[in-house]
Amino acid sequence: MQEYKTTGQQQAEPVPTAASRFDPRRIYTILVLAPLVYAVIRYLPPLAFSGVVALAGGLALFEFYRMCFGDRSHSWLIGIGLTGFAALILGTHWPDILVPTLLATLIGIISVPLLSRAPLEQGLRDGAMTLFGVLYLGLTLGTLSMTRLLPQGEWLIFFLLLVTWASDTGAYYVGTLYGRHRLAPMISPKKTVEGLVGGLIGAIIVAYAARWWFLPELSSLDCLILATLLTITGLWGDLTESAMKRSVGMKDSGGILPGHGGMLDRLDSLLFTAPVFYYYVTMVSRLRVIE
């Protein structure tokens, strides 16, 4: 992040600010959650992992609705949205429940103007945002469950999570220590070009380490492409959520994760990296893990 000063008629010049202090709570949160997530992915069946995705995504969706609705109480509308979201996640295991649940969700949402006491235009906007939330989190996080169901799905999930985490962490620490050139000052002033480079380097290192460690079916080219794709799409997801928060005047979507903000703050990158990773593996790459 930079500050600017002017002297007389001279043009403003960037002045680097001191690096912000590290928040140790970020590390503590990771140390608590990482072993739990590892155990669920490695030792429990895919349905248990989908349950964790549904729980985390449901919390993130609740935070999203809170951003959209503000102080207005829409508990029944939020309930409809959460039901539709759960159907998209669990429908990967029970396809028969997917269509009827989504139809019921759609009918409930388009009936908002009939059930709400709010003005007609407000009811239509609330219904549209409810449906958008279901699709925004449900379609994206649903690819996590789909990836876990692939052959060697647990190792693919580990690869996705580790590379996404390495990109986020590398960008955060390199940007904090060395960031000088802002990347998107109108949306997220703390994002820097140096942070992006640091995130890419971290993603590439972890991608090749994961290939050597537990996923030799990946080619070297796959590692390079995936590290690049996941870094770019993860940043895009982060900036997208930042734009949403800035539009409603919020800094964090919540405070459920100490040092990380809300659940939506923690999942914003994964919302974009998960579908990109799934469709790369199943449609582009010639990985033997899907044969």
pLDDT value, residue 81: 92
The end-to-end CA distance of the chain, in Å, is 47
Closest CA to 257 of 30, 64, 82: 30
Residue 286 is predicted with a pLDDT of 61
Per-residue pLDDT at 157: 97
* Enclosing H/E stretch for 13: strand 13-16
Give per-residue pLDDT as tens, 103-137. Answer: 888 888 888 777 777 777 777 888 889 999 999 99
Q: Please report the pLDDT score of residue 108 as a whole number.
A: 84
Q: What is the value of pTM for the model shown? A: 0.85
Q: In the chain, where are the structural domains located?
A: 23-290
Cα separation of 176 and 181, whole Å?
12
Q: In angstroms, rounded to a whole number, what is the distance separating the alpha carbons of residues 206 and 266?
A: 19
Judged by DSSP in three states, 285 sits in coil
> What pLDDT is attached to residue 73?
65
Task: Mark the ranges of the chain whose per-residue pLDDT is less than 70.
Answer: 1-26, 28, 72-73, 252, 254-255, 257-260, 286-291
Taking residue 129's Cβ as centre, other Cβ atoms within 10 Å add up to 20
Q: DSSP readout, 138-151?
A: HHHHHHHHHHHTST
- pLDDT in the model for residue 16: 44
Q: What is the pLDDT of residue 23?
A: 62
